[in-house]
Amino acid sequence: MAVSTRLLLAILFSAFLLSAANAYREYPVQQGQHGQRSIPLTQAQQCRLQRLTGSQPSQRIESEGGYTELWDENEEQFQCVGVAPMRSRGLISVINPGCAETFQSQTFQAGRMTGEERGQSRGNDQHQKVHRIRQGDVVAIPAGAAHWCYNDGEEELVAVSINDLNHRSNQLDQNFRAFYLAGGVQEISGRQIGVGKQSTQKFQNIFRAFNTELMAEAFNIPVEIVRKMQEEQNERGLIINVREGMSMIRADEEEEEFEGRSQRGQQWWAEVTGNGLEENICTMKIRTNMDTQRQADIYSRQAGKIKHVNRQKLPILRDMDMSASKGTLYPNALMSPHWSVNGHSIIYVQRGDAQVQVVDHTGQQVMNDRVNQGEMFVVPQYYASTVKAGQNGFEFAVFRTSSQPMNSQLAGYTSVIRAMPIEVLTNAYQISPNEAQRLKMNRGGESFLLSPQRKSF
């Protein structure tokens, strides 16, 4: 169990997590025009990158139920955009503080039972909602919420987590922090590739540091139970195997039962608190699916498809100020050269490969590499980039540090070049009007995804 903020994207039995809990703002958040946030740049956001490249995890934590891999948060490109990536190997539940337990599951009673109780081996367990995650799901976990994840399927579940260190909910420094309520590992360290700089992480059960008697009093339980909670279990790691299957109620299987109970619980909670919390945190939708072809936001029969999840589709992202996209480029297809108007982009390669070029605001090329499956790279705000898929296509996930991201394209039907008068182009590039016309119009109705025209990049 961990406490953080995450956005989960499950694709082909893989999951991508994006977190916004560990963050720092140099100045208070202010309201700009149209109610949008106006946030001064922090030191971490002032990017002075000379080189971008595809990055692999630098640390690996083995656990009895899988493993966790960490990218080096001190790597220059991650420092620039203020994120700390992770990747680890269902069901998911988010425990929001102050929300009522609106689910009841049958569970086995443990410990000693009286003669009257022996005939009843089951009892009712109240808990917050358990969500079924499926292929293509995006799940958002708000700041300060504990969560757990259980893989009850027969396939591996891979989770990639992006922790936003610049979100306003964090008032600490730019270092990634996460604590666990169970499990843990010994201190791990890894050397940043190409830089003589060590990064160190600790993931420990926080109950271990508390006084046993004090915890027993706080929970009103025997000290023996607290000692079991505090036992050092570093050999089990952060991911454990479930000895006996778990059968808690899931929303998709008991939806009708949940709706009645949930509404009663929400009504009771509203009467008790009267603060509207149940309308925001407790009942807010935290997941949506990105794997539906018919609902793609951008589709080209020759080039590929992209689906976006922003604050309109998943309102909880408004507070997290993050968003995600899942995209597929067909073999040799091209993504129009473009730049992000209002946020950084963190791209994770799920399948295939692609040639990526990135140019900074000074006109210097900072990336010209082929990226492959499992790698991650960053494109900062106002850095222009383009991607050309390899022979096997290119499947990717993009995490953005804006809940309503905007791109400005250089080529295609909706590009800035298409919007300019021919006379401007002829004088700017010293080309003929006919050449300017071709520059503007040769992509026809194609927009962000461009069909292949040349065999080489």
What pLDDT was estimated at residue 155? Answer: 76
Residue 235, pLDDT score:
66
pTM of the model: 0.74
The closest alpha carbon to 324, from 11, 91, 13, 1, belongs to 11
Reading phi first (left if > 0) and then psi (alpha if -120 to 50, else beta), residue 206 is in alpha
Write phi, then psi, for 301 (nearest 5 degrees).
-65, -30
- Tens-digit pLDDT profile for the chain (457 aa)? 444 444 444 333 333 444 443 333 333 333 443 434 444 444 444 577 777 877 777 777 677 766 677 777 777 777 777 776 666 545 566 766 667 665 555 554 444 444 344 334 456 777 788 888 777 788 887 777 788 888 877 777 777 777 777 777 777 777 777 778 887 775 554 444 334 444 455 677 888 889 999 999 999 999 999 999 888 666 677 777 887 777 665 555 444 344 444 444 444 444 444 444 444 667 788 888 887 767 889 999 999 999 999 999 999 898 889 999 999 999 999 999 999 999 999 999 999 999 999 999 999 999 999 999 999 999 999 999 999 999 999 999 999 999 999 999 999 999 999 999 999 999 999 999 999 999 999 999 999 999 998 655 4
Burial 386-397 (b: 16+ CB within 10 A, else e): bbbbbeebbbbb
**pLDDT confidence of residue 79:** 74
Per-residue model confidence (pLDDT) at position 280? 61
CA gap 116, 107 in Å, rounded: 18
Domains identified in the chain and CATH numbers: 2-288 (2.60.120.10), 291-450 (2.60.120.10)
Give the other-Cβ count within 10 Å of 184's Cβ.
20
Per DSSP bridges, beta strands 14-19 and 158-164 are parallel
Nearest to residue 412, comparing CAs of 445, 387, 436?
445
Identify the pLDDT of residue 141.
79
